[in-house]
């Protein structure tokens, strides 16, 4: 667990606020496709509503990043949490396409503020020697929020009804915003100089205060997250249900019980999220101890390459081996790309750098489903997963290049 005495005062309220803010968004993904009538929308419009927040973030991330380099990151983070609670209240108290569309746009702006400013606080306050570990612990809040939101959203919708479930989600999001307002420290100092007598683990050690900007390496770090989101959040998540249906049909009998493919998909994605929660801080801590963070990036890509290679075989056993391997790479890429961005950009540019990083990530996750369903009829799902392995291989070659540059 985090060692510095001030760690919990920062990470815990940030993490709670971030996780609870995701209750409404994760619930929407879980229940809107099956509750279109009560929500007052058509099935055709579901895709637009569920992706609207990602598209607005392409602009919002950079604006929030620019602001967070000039204004208090804490104020931006807390204000974004309250805006997120408002967006979830829109889901709860309105029906119809346009009100929900407005709510989804509000959520996209809110999440840009939450994620960019939240990670900016981590990069600013984390001692350099444990930056990867801090980033990893904060990333847990994202995975936990997505998993808990989807589960609670589905459960409460079946129990209470769609609008009542969204009311509970809005209340939880408001609670998260209130505790962040109360407990996130008002004075967040810059602690990047606290190296704790450990070797500075940035990709090319320079001054710990303001290293010169290395644009090619920054671009490479951005590509790690962009391709990760394209492959995992875009292609893999949107096609996993089809993959399972191709393996076992619409249902499978387990110990005399019939389990539908939707349930299997949810279980598989839940297991993927759980593994990511476990591996993200572990890999972040490992990168803190490495002489070069790119070494750990490269090592973390190998499981994903093997995993998608196995999935491309489209055999039942390949899922059992391939899914956990891909989750390791997914968590590694997400956490280490943020840590690298902190290493490679000066403290006064953390906000803008994170804004650009997450804009590329959102773009990848937005175009991934469109790319997948455009080529599926031509290539088939096995070839598509083979493409995922190839994309991760390209990242591995890039990571090895930066390892070699650092040794010269």
pLDDT in tens, 273-315: 888 888 888 999 999 998 889 999 999 999 999 999 999 998 8
111-130 average pLDDT score: 91
Query: Global pTM?
Result: 0.81
Lowest mean pLDDT of 43-47, 123-127, 295-299, 361-365, name the range.
Answer: 43-47
Determine the angle formed by the axes of helices 162-183 and 131-160, rounding to 10 degrees: 150
Say what percent of the chain tops pLDDT 70. Answer: 88
Domains of the chain (ranges; CATH) run 9-183 (1.20.1250.20), 212-408 (1.20.1250.20)
Model pLDDT, residue 382: 93
Condensed to tens digits (0 to 9), the pLDDT of residues 310-322 reads: 999 988 788 889 9
Model pLDDT, residue 347: 60
Task: Please report, to the nearest 10 degrees, the dihedral formed by the alpha carbons of residues 302, 341, 83, 56 taken in order.
Answer: -70
pLDDT category, 252, cuts 50, 70, 90? low
258-270 average pLDDT score: 69
């Amino acid at each position: 667990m985090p060692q510095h005495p001030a760690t919990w005062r920062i990470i815990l309220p940030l993490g709670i606020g971030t996780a609870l803010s995701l209750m409404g968004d994760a619930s929407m993904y879980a229940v809107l496709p099956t509750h279109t009538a009560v929500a007052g929308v058509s099935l055709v419009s579901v895709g637009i509503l569920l992706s609207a927040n990602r598209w607005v973030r392409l602009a919002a991330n950079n604006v929030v990043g620019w602001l967070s380099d000039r204004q208090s990151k804490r104020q931006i983070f807390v204000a974004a949490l309250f805006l997120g609670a408002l967006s979830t209240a829109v889901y709860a108290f309105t029906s119809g396409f346009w009100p929900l569309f407005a709510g989804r746009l509000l959520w996209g702006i809110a999440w840009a503020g939450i994620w960019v400013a939240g990670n900016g606080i981590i990069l600013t306050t984390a001692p350099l020697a444990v930056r990867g570990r801090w980033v990893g612990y904060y990333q847990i809040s994202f995975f936990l929020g997505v998993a808990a939101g989807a589960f609670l959203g589905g459960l409460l919708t079946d129990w209470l009804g769609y609008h009542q479930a969204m009311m509970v989600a809005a209340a939880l999001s408001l609670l998260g915003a209130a505790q962040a307002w109360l407990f996130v420290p008002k004075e967040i100092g810059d602690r990047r100089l606290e190296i704790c007598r450990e070797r500075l683990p940035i990709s090319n050690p320079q001054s710990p205060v303001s290293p010169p900007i290395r644009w090619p390496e920054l671009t490479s770090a951005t590509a790690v997250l962009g391709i990760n989101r394209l492959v995992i959040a875009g292609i893999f998540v949107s096609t996993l249900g089809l993959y399972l249906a191709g393996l076992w049909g619409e249902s499978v009998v387990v110990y005399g019980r019939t389990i539908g493919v939707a349930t299997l998909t949810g279980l598989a994605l839940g297991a993927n999220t759980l593994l990511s929660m476990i591996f993200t801080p572990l890999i972040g801590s490992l990168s803190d101890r490495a002489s070069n963070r790119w070494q750990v990036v490269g090592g973390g890509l190998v499981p994903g390459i093997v995993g998608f290679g196995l999935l491309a075989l489209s055999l039942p056993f390949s899922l059992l081996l391939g899914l956990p391997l891909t989750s390791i790479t997914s968590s590694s890429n997400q956490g280490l790309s943020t840590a690298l961005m902190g290493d490679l950009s000066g403290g006064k540019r953390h906000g803008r750098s994170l804004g650009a990083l997450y804009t590329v990530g959102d773009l990848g996750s937005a175009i991934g489903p469109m790319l997948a369903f455009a080529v599926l009829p031509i290539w088939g799902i096995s070839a598509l997963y083979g493409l995922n392995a190839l994309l991760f291989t390209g990242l591995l070659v890039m990571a090895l290049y930066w390892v070699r540059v650092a040794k010269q």
